[in-house]
Every structure is written in structure tokens, then in C-alpha cells.
Amino acid sequence: MPHISSASLWELAAADVHQRKTEAEEEAEEGGGGGGGGDPVAERSVFLMGSKAGGKTSILLKCLDRDEASKPTLALEYTFGRRARGHSTPKDIAHLWELGGGTSLSDLVQIPITPASVRSLSVVLVLDLSKPNTLWATMEKLLQAARTQVEKVSSRKQQAAKQQATLRLLPKDYPDREMISPFPLPLLIIGSKYDIFQELESEKRKAVCKSLRFIAHHHAASLVFTSSKSVSLMSKTKSFFSHLAFGLDRGKAVSLDPAKPLVVPAGSDSFGQIGSPPMTEVDVTTLHAKNPMDLWKKVYERIFPQESTSEQKEVSDPARDPQYAEPQLDAMRAQKDQELEQLRRNAAKSWKGLDLDT
């Protein structure tokens, strides 16, 4: 069996991602070839992150009209989507990244968020509505990780330009224009598993809805609730996704009723409509909040004490997961594990054989 160095495994993984992107670009060129002076191919990137096992892959597959079973995402995965504008016209390309592991792998945001991609990158944050006790912590950590990476790869001039561009998407007479803090990239928040969320008691559903509306409006983001079991909800979700991935119209539907799935396009809500935090038993003034976002966080955590997300660290070894089996690599891995164990035994014998008195 040929020798494979540990470094070459990473090279193979990098080459695989590069090959997929190359195939996407080549197919786009083929779609525009022969047309003679057609419009240039539009390329956008979308980065999906969110709750662990929150349904990100299922949502992505349905938005791409791919009829295949979803699998747990291993670390960070890349795929691409194509959309033809018409006959003999170029195909628009969407580079799609999906982060697995919930918050445990947030350091990997540095891969999809780069100086080159940030100009055409959008973020989709999928939050599991069926687990409100981890929702805020997941949202907070992932958005902060993404924001920090954007700031790292962007100059101050670029950051200011992006913020102004986001503000321009809102109506000029928007009452909260000077009060919000737009996320540095176009942001879509998807509340997943709405079918399970409906089983929560009414007051708790209202608390989650108001809180997510506040979070979305504060970041100048769009918000939509969905369920992989609902065709109509997935259709609305797809329109928002296609808006980010291919520049299509996201639709004008708006639903702010907490008794129904929320559909809130960016710029269609306001702090006045959202109202005050859903606190009835505790005096808000006693929470000593630093700012409105901190106040909403403290109120939300009173209603839904947040469970630690540290336990989401991957404890299983993906290399031993049957769904990622690679016979040749697995055989080489087994051989290397045996060699490593033998080296450890030899080293242990060498230490025991030393004459410590000398």
C-alpha cells in the first residue's frame, strides 16, 4: 500500500473543495458560452450556521430542490447551486457553506468569511425553535464569531460602506434607522422546527417570537419560521434563500402574528410594533442592563434559562463514523494507529531501561 503522509490528507480535502468550485465555474461558463456577449455570470456566497441538529442541511437541500436524504454535517461542508436565467444564458452560481456542530466549531467561520468572499457573502442563521433554552446562546456566539471575522478581513472603510449599504435597504423615513445596529453582512434568521414549536404554551411562544423579532430588527435582518414538514413554509423560506443566493425577489408577505409562523422581511418591522420585553413578574429596571440588547437577553434568560452549549463539543471521532467510510484511508489509518502504539511501547521500555542513578 502506498505511503500517505498526514499532511496529504488535508491536501486532498482542500483539493476536493477546489475541484467543486472549479466545476461550478466551468458549468457557469458553459451556460454562457456560445451566447455571444451574454451577461456575466453572477456569483454569490451563502454561509449557513446555527443550532446543532437544527435542520440546516434539510433546509438547504429543499431550497436547492435536491431530493436526497440529509446527513449530519461534518465540521464545514461546501456545495454549490446553479440557476439558469433563461435559454442560452449564463447560470448564476451560489457558493454554499454549511457549518456543523452548533457553536462548537465557530472558529471555522474564518474559512468561508475571507477578504475575497465578504463582498458577495450573506449569512443564514438557523435557530431550533424546539429548543428555546439554547437558542439565545447559540445566536449570540455564532453572530459574534461571524462579525469578528468580518471585521478582521475588512478594512474600516469597507465596514463603513457595508453598514451604509445595509441602511440604504431600509426606507428613508424608517423610525428606527439610527437605533439599530445592522449586521455587517446580509442576514437571514430562520426559526426551524415550527411544527414542534407550536406545542409550546402560548405565552412562551409569544416570548420567543417577540425576542426573535427584536433580534432580527436590531440587526436589520429578515426573519422567517419554517418546518421541513410544511410545503408552504418551505416555499416562503426558499424565496428568502433564493434572494440571498441568486438575487431573486424575496416576496412581500409579512406575518407578525405570534399565533402564526413569522414572516418578517428586513425593514418591515419596528421597535414600536415589537413592544417591550415579555416580562411580567420581574421589574425590568432591576435587571441593570447595559443596552436594549442586553435587556432583552436578561429577560429572555429569565423565561428560558440558557443551557450551556459547551457540551456540544464533538466527543465522537468522525474518522470512525460509518457514513464517512473510506476503505483505503481507513486501512492506512489503522496501520498508522498500530505503528503509533508500537512506538509508544518502545518509548516506554526505553524509559524504564534508563539507569537513573547515572
Output the average pLDDT for the chain: 82
- What pLDDT, in 10s, does the model give residues 319-354? 666 656 777 787 888 888 888 888 888 777 766 666
CA angle 241–294–130, rounded 5-degree value: 45
Is the pLDDT at 357 greater than 60? The verdict is no
Q: Give the pLDDT score at 333.
A: 83
CA distances from residue 33 to 42, 90, 175 in whole angstroms, order as listed = 14, 8, 48
* Confidence class for position 91, pLDDT limits 50, 70, 90: confident
Closest CA to 271 of 143, 166, 167, 175: 175
* Confidence class for position 2, pLDDT limits 50, 70, 90: very low
DSSP state letters, 24-67: HHHHHHHHHTTSSSPPPPPEEEEEEEESTTSSHHHHHHHHTT--
Range of lowest pLDDT (91-105, 160-174, 226-240) = 160-174
Q: What is the 3-state secondary structure (H, E, C) of 8-33?
A: HHHHHHHHHHHHHHHHHHHHHHHHHC
Is the pLDDT at 284 greater than 80? The verdict is no
The mean pLDDT value for 285-291 works out to 79
* Confidence class for position 75, pLDDT limits 50, 70, 90: confident
3-state class of 341 per DSSP? helix
- Dihedral sign, Cα of residue 134, residue 57, residue 151, residue 107: positive
Is the pLDDT at 234 greater than 70? The verdict is yes
Q: Give the pLDDT score at 281.
A: 65
- What pLDDT, in 10s, does the model give residues 99-150? 998 999 999 999 999 999 998 999 999 999 999 999 999 999 999 999 999 9
Q: Give the pLDDT score at 175.
A: 62
Is the pLDDT at 157 greater than 80? The verdict is no
Report for 71-80, 156-165, 278-287, 308-317: range of highest mean pLDDT: 71-80
The mean pLDDT value for 57-83 works out to 90
- What pLDDT, in 10s, does the model give residues 241-259? 999 999 998 888 999 999 9
Percent of the chain with pLDDT over 90: 51
Is the pLDDT at 204 greater than 90? The verdict is yes
The mean pLDDT value for 49-69 works out to 93
Report for 81-95, 188-202, 326-340: range of highest mean pLDDT: 188-202
Is the pLDDT at 87 greater than 60? The verdict is yes
* Confidence class for position 42, pLDDT limits 50, 70, 90: confident
Q: What gap in Å lies between CA 37 and CA 342, rounded to an integer?
A: 64
Q: Record the cell numbers describing residue 108, joined without a space.
A: 471555522
Q: Give the pLDDT score at 164.
A: 61
Please state the φ and ψ torsions of residue 168, each to the nearest 5 degrees. -70, -20
Q: Give the pLDDT score at 59.
A: 95
* Confidence class for position 19, pLDDT limits 50, 70, 90: low
Report for 86-95, 98-107, 172-181: range of highest mean pLDDT: 98-107
Report for 21-25, 46-50, 273-277, 280-284: range of highest mean pLDDT: 46-50
Map out the domains of the chain with their CATH numbers.
41-319 (3.40.50.300)
Q: Give the pLDDT score at 331.
A: 81
Is the pLDDT at 1 greater than 50? The verdict is no
Residues 6+ apart with CB under 8 A from 271: 175, 176, 179, 214, 217
DSSP letter (8 states) at residue 198: T
Q: Give the pLDDT score at 174.
A: 62
The mean pLDDT value for 170-174 works out to 65
